[in-house]
Amino acid sequence: MGMMDGRRALIFGVANDHSIAWAIAQALHREGAELGFTYVNEAIEKRVRPLAESLGVQTVLPCDVSKDDEIAATFDAIKERWGRVDVVIHAVAFALREELKGRMLNTSRAGFHLALDVSTYSLIAIARCAEPLMSRGASLLTLSYLGAEKVVPNYNVMGIAKAALEASVRYLAYDLGPQGIRVNAISAGPIRTLSAAGISGFKDMLHHHEARAALRRSVGADEVAGAALYLCSDLGSGVTGEVMHVDCGYSIIGM
Ligand code: 0WE
C-alpha cells in the first residue's frame, strides 16, 4: 500500500538525474503514483526519456511553459490519457545567465520579463489548465528559494521572480481552495543541480550554507522529495498556500 496509490502526477522540470523534480518523481513513484513528465526541448528530452523509462513511465510530453498553447496541449493530452490529474509539480525556472551576476539594478526589461514569464507566470498558466482536471484532494507544488525573502548576492531577478511565485502560491491557494485543491511551495536550500551548474561561486555558497545552517549541512534532493510527498499526499491535507523551508534550518538564523 503506497501513500499515492491511484494518484496521477504530472511533473514539469526534470532535466537530469540530479534534478529536484527527479527526486520528487522517484518518491511519488515509490508510493504508487502514476507519473507523467514534460520536457522543454530536444536536449532535455534525451535526458528525460531514459529516466521515465526506468520507472516504466510512458507519458512524456513536450511543453515550453512560456507558451500558452503548449501548456494547453499538454493538459489536453493528459485529459485524453488520464481523464484527470491529482498532483502537478512545477520545478521550472529560467533567467538569462547575464542577469545572475553583478547588480540587480542592471536587470534589463527583457531579462525581467523572461525570468518572471518562465519562472512565475508559468505556475499560474499551469494551474488554470490543471483546474478542470483536478478534484478535491488534488494539489500543486512549486519550488522556491531564500532569495525570494532575503538578498542573496547574484540571485537578482530570480529573487524577484521567486517572491512573485510565493505570492502566486497564496493567491492560487485562495482561488482553488473552494474546490479542495491545494497549492504550496518548498523553499529548498542550495542543491547541486543543473540549475546551479555554472553559477560562479556556487561551491562557496554550499560551504557557507553547510557552516551556518542549524543542521550544519546542506539539504539533499531526497529530503526535498520527502517534504513534497507530505505536501502532495493526504498527510498535508490541511496545508495550502504555504511556503515550507527545507533548508536544514539555514533561514531561521539571524546571526
Ligand atoms: O533558482 C535557482 C537557479 C535558477 C536558474 C539557474 C540558471 C542557470 C543557467 C535560473 N536561470 C538560470 N539560467 C541559466 O542560464 N537556484 C535556487 C539555484 C541558484 O542559482 C543562483 C543561486 C542559487 C542558490 C544564482 C545566483 C546566486 C545563487
Mean pLDDT of all residues belonging to the chain: 98
Length of the chain: 255
Let me know if 250 is a catalytic residue: no
CA 176 to centroid of ligand 1, rounded, Å: 29
Sign of CA dihedral 181, 12, 170, 79: negative
Q: Which residue's CA lies nearest to atom 15 of ligand 1?
A: 97
pLDDT at 187 over 90: yes
Given a contact cutoff of 8 angstroms between Cβ atoms, the answer to whether 19 and 91 are in contact is: yes
d(CA 42, CA 97): 20
Percent of the chain scoring above 90 in pLDDT: 98
- Interatomic CA distance for residues 81 and 84, integer angstroms: 8
pLDDT above 90 (res 198): no
The per-residue pLDDT for 189 is 98
Q: Specify whether 174 is catalytic.
A: no
- pLDDT tens digits for 33-88? 999 999 999 999 999 999 999 999 999 999 999 999 999 999 999 999 999 999 99
Q: Write out residues with Cβ below 6 Å of ligand 1.
A: 93-95, 97, 100, 145, 152, 154-155, 158, 190, 195-196, 199, 205
Report the candidate in 116, 2, 26 with the shortest Cα–Cα distance to residue 11: 26
**Res. 25: pLDDT tops 90:** yes
Instruction: Report the distance separating Cα 41 and Cα 63, nearest Å.
Output: 8
pLDDT tier, 123 (very low <50, low <70, confident <90, very high otherwise): very high
The label of the residue with cell 555554472 reads: 198
What pLDDT was estimated at residue 200?
86
Q: How far apart are CA 35 and CA 56, in angstroms?
A: 9
Q: Which CATH class is domain 8-247?
A: alpha beta
Supply the pLDDT for residue 244.
98
* The three cell numbers locating residue 170: 497564496
**Whether the predicted model's global pTM rises above the 0.95 cut:** yes
181/57 Cα distance (integer angstroms): 25
